[in-house]
Amino acid sequence: MENLIAAFHEIANIHTLALMSIGAMAGLLAGAIPGFTIAMAVVLTLPFTFSMTASQGVATMIGVFVGGLSGGLMSGILIGIPGTPSSVATTFDGFPMARQGRPGLALGLGVWASFFGGTISAISLIAIAPQLARIGLEFQPWDYFALVFFALTITASLAGENLIKGLISGALGLLIATVGEEDINGVSRFDFGSDYLQEGFAFLPVLIGLFAFSQLMSDVRDRAEAKRSLAQTGDIDIRIEHMKAAKIVLSKWGNLLRSSFIGIFTGILPAAGSSISNILAYDQAKKASKHPEFFGTGIEDGIIAPEAANNATAGGSLIMMMALGIPGDIITAVMLGALLIHDVIPSPSFITESPVLAYSIFIAFFFANFLVLFLQSIALKLFVLVTRVKMYVLAGIILAYCGIGVFALNNIVNDMWTLLIFGVVGYVMRNLGFPLAPMILGVVLGPIAERWLARAVAISTDMTNFITHPWSVFFLTLSLFSMAFGLYQRDLNKKVWPLYYSPVLMLCLSPGMFMMEGWIRPVIGAALVAAGLYGLYRARQKAAVFEPSSGASA
Amino acid sequence: MRALNRDTIVAILLLLFCGLLAWSSLHIRLPGYGTLKPSTWPQIMVGVLTLFSVIYFFQSLSYGPSWPADKGRSSGLAGFFDYYRNPIVCFVIYFVFMLTLPWLGALIGGILLVFALLTVLGGWTPKDIVRHAIYATVSMGFMWSLFTFGLRVILPEGEIFSIR
């Protein structure tokens, strides 16, 4: 309780709330502008957070994060182009509703669904994260390493369509993190005799270079597009119909709750972010509707579902970051990096060791949803102004800001060179089809993995510790399946073997559960065995009548 | 097996890069204390990257390029530079900004950087030039003031004008 009160004081003061408001406004605008991503907005916020306390810095970034998730609906509804991938499904019904002459109601539904989705998610975060973190206190260095190793294997899931390019990107990220003096012995690696390389690459310039710099270059690549205004919206004078929209959203509470829980669950799943949850929730809302044929024509449920889900995803991904120190998506990876800059290392013991900061994050996330609700109307007016600005003007100014911003990190000019180098690297990789998210995860998690491996080996060089500690066994098993997840996605409905993926996973996870102390976890292990065996039986039945969906053979 | 394609070339470059890193990892100093050698983790990572690069190499030969070619790009070096003109020019301008930073400083250098970027990307009619000059001065002036006075960051001071 004391921690909660202390955290409340950290956040509920004018200074922090003002910073959060600025962050939320920036997020709303960045989310609303097609071509700008939430990750980019969060990354660009980082330089400002250095002069802040850790809780203020993270609170500001949470403001940007929540604002960005809500901002995407503005452009999606008003101009039919989703500001972010997390608002793609909102466009399906939001834009038709706006074209039918009800843009104020469409925006209101989106705003209130986002608010309720975010609030439900915040409550879940406060309820689940501390419970999950208690389990983390049992971890020993072997378990920690296995956990971080599992997080690294998520890169396979982040790879998208091209698995091998995603894996290469992740491995490159891990190697980038090894350049320069290592933390454990202070020995320089891969410096090739250069003082610049000996210092290593600072995290922030790498991040801004890979994400912001390269994204800006992609935005201005087409000369004609670069000279166009962001959107041809003309003069818009819309009032968000708050009262009416709030009543409608609450009256559709079934859809709201279902979509919010889909969002939270998707957020908890590593690598499955809001870009997936909004479409999943829309799809489920359509399936559950008595009139699915109306979806796509400007139906209320079609706006509520994706907007509730995408905001709820934020809470889910924060649960994983806070409780286990695993970034669920690229935005939480950036936040994890920001905490590292403030010498706070998120891990399973994070909530116990830094309770005030942890509760500050909970409260900030809760407040951010209220702030965004309040700021949405103002942001709408600013959005209309910003859409008149040409892309190249924004890109040129933001590029200069990137340079100045990274200098602010350590007052080192070399960081500005790093920005340029990784700007080029990021741009080349984008154009060659390499996903950048795995690379960022590699840069963030690489040093953490090495540190835990060193600690584990320092205690005992006996490598069997990795298969005798139950949590280590559990996470290593998950890692194996995580690595195969990309293949699973590729072959799903095309080959037979994905039918056996989930049952075999359950069976393989059970030994780890049986090795744990107490009686609850072995019982869960037994349940996993039962579910796995039943799953195998069902998979065999399905395999007998299996027909590949698109010409692939079993 | 297919002909050499863009993915194959990238895979070969990656393998060469792996070779360079593997060679460099052999020269990492071993301090004689600590159980985990400083070279162990990087060597594991180089091994992993090499393995993935080999798979990528054979995949590119078997299945061809996995990424569509740039739409509307003419072939040849001239076509490449024409297609990527804006990004290349931006990188070059930023590079020049970095080279001149010790002399011009963050404020003057930054104003020139923004002005050059806007003019190259947006056009250089007399009206454009005036507008870009105003945008550059106002935006960089604001940023410089924010960092210098608001965040107390001492930005690079130019030797020529001695302005931070």
What's the one-letter identity of residue A420?
Answer: L
Query: Mean pLDDT across chain A, nearest whole number?
Result: 84
Model ipTM?
0.92
* Domain stops at, among A380, A405, A430: A405
Tell me the chain B residues in contact with residue A167 when contact means C-beta distances shorter than 8 Å.
52
| Calpha distance A251→A247 (Å, rounded) | 6
To the nearest whole Å, the CA of A198 is away from the closest chain B CA by: 12
The verdict on A243 and A102 lying in the same domain is yes
pLDDT at position A232 over 60: no
| Calpha distance B29→B111 (Å, rounded) | 45
* Domain stops at, among A382, A405, A428: A405
pLDDT at A425: 95
| Calpha distance B18→A85 (Å, rounded) | 35
Is A19 part of any domain?
Answer: yes
Residue range A56-67: mean pLDDT, rounded: 88
| DSSP secondary structure code for residue A36 in this structure | -
User: Cβ contact (<8 Å) for A189 and B42?
Assistant: yes
The verdict on A224 and A311 lying in the same domain is yes
The verdict on A372 and A501 lying in the same domain is no
Binding-face residues of B in 77-96 toward A, CB within 8 A = 83-87, 90-91, 94-95
To the nearest whole Å, the CA of A333 is away from the closest chain B CA by: 20
pLDDT at A158: 59
The verdict on A98 and A220 lying in the same domain is yes
The verdict on A337 and A479 lying in the same domain is no
pLDDT at A53: 84
Is A189 part of any domain?
Answer: no
pLDDT at position A528 over 70: yes
| DSSP secondary structure code for residue B64 in this structure | -
pLDDT at position A235 over 70: no
Beta bridge partners of A390: A229
| Calpha distance A413→A291 (Å, rounded) | 60
The verdict on A474 and A349 lying in the same domain is no
The verdict on A371 and A500 lying in the same domain is no
The verdict on A377 and A509 lying in the same domain is no
Is A554 part of any domain?
Answer: no
Is A92 part of any domain?
Answer: yes
| Calpha distance A99→A479 (Å, rounded) | 47
The verdict on A472 and A400 lying in the same domain is no
The verdict on A89 and A212 lying in the same domain is yes
First to last CA, chain B: 59
When mean pLDDT is compared over A180-189, A234-243, B86-95, the highest value belongs to B86-95
Q: Where is average pLDDT lowest: A4-13, A236-245, A351-360, A408-417?
A: A236-245
Is A265 part of any domain?
Answer: yes
Name the nearest CA neighbour of A369 among A34, A179, A117, A51: A117
Name the nearest CA neighbour of B22 among B62, B2, B1, B51: B51
Quote the longest CA-to-CA distance of chain B: 67
Is A200 part of any domain?
Answer: no
pLDDT at A554: 35
To the nearest whole Å, the CA of B163 is away from the closest chain A CA by: 15
Q: How many domains does chain A have?
A: 2
B57 touching A (Cβ < 8 Å) = no
| DSSP secondary structure code for residue B2 in this structure | -
Tell me the chain A residues in contact with residue B155 when contact means C-beta distances shorter than 8 Å.
404, 407
Instruction: Determine the structural domain holding residue A117 and report its residue range.
Output: 2-131+205-405
Residue range A54-59: mean pLDDT, rounded: 86
Q: Where is average pLDDT lowest: A259-273, A395-409, B88-102?
A: A259-273
Tell me the chain A residues in contact with residue B67 when contact means C-beta distances shorter than 8 Å.
162, 432-433
Which helix (H) or strand (E) segment holds residue A260: the answer is: helix A253-268
* Per-residue pLDDT tens digits for A162-194: 778 888 998 999 999 999 988 778 889 998 889
Task: Give the model's confidence band at A301: pLDDT under 50 very low, under 70 low, under 90 confident, else very high.
Answer: very high
| Calpha distance A221→A225 (Å, rounded) | 8
Is A216 part of any domain?
Answer: yes
| Calpha distance B105→A242 (Å, rounded) | 49
Question: Do the beta carbons of residue A378 and residue A25 sit within 8 Å?
Answer: yes
Tell me the chain A residues in contact with residue B53 when contact means C-beta distances shorter than 8 Å.
168
The verdict on A357 and A487 lying in the same domain is no
The verdict on A127 and A244 lying in the same domain is yes
B124 touching A (Cβ < 8 Å) = no
Name the nearest CA neighbour of A63 among A75, A78, A49, A50: A49
B2 touching A (Cβ < 8 Å) = no
User: Cβ contact (<8 Å) for A184 and B38?
Assistant: yes
Quote the longest CA-to-CA distance of chain A: 70
pLDDT at A289: 84
pLDDT at B34: 66
* Domain stops at, among A388, A405, A422: A405
Q: Which residue has the higher pLDDT, B53 or A154?
A: B53
pLDDT at B5: 81
When mean pLDDT is compared over A109-118, A195-204, A230-239, B130-139, the highest value belongs to B130-139
Share of chain A above pLDDT 70, in %: 94
pLDDT at position B164 over 80: no
* Per-residue pLDDT tens digits for A419-463: 999 999 999 998 998 888 788 878 878 888 888 898 888 888 888
Tell me the chain B residues in contact with residue A426 when contact means C-beta distances shorter than 8 Å.
none
Tell me the chain A residues in contact with residue B49 when contact means C-beta distances shorter than 8 Å.
168, 171-172, 175
Is A69 part of any domain?
Answer: yes
pLDDT at B58: 92
To the nearest whole Å, the CA of A550 is away from the closest chain B CA by: 18
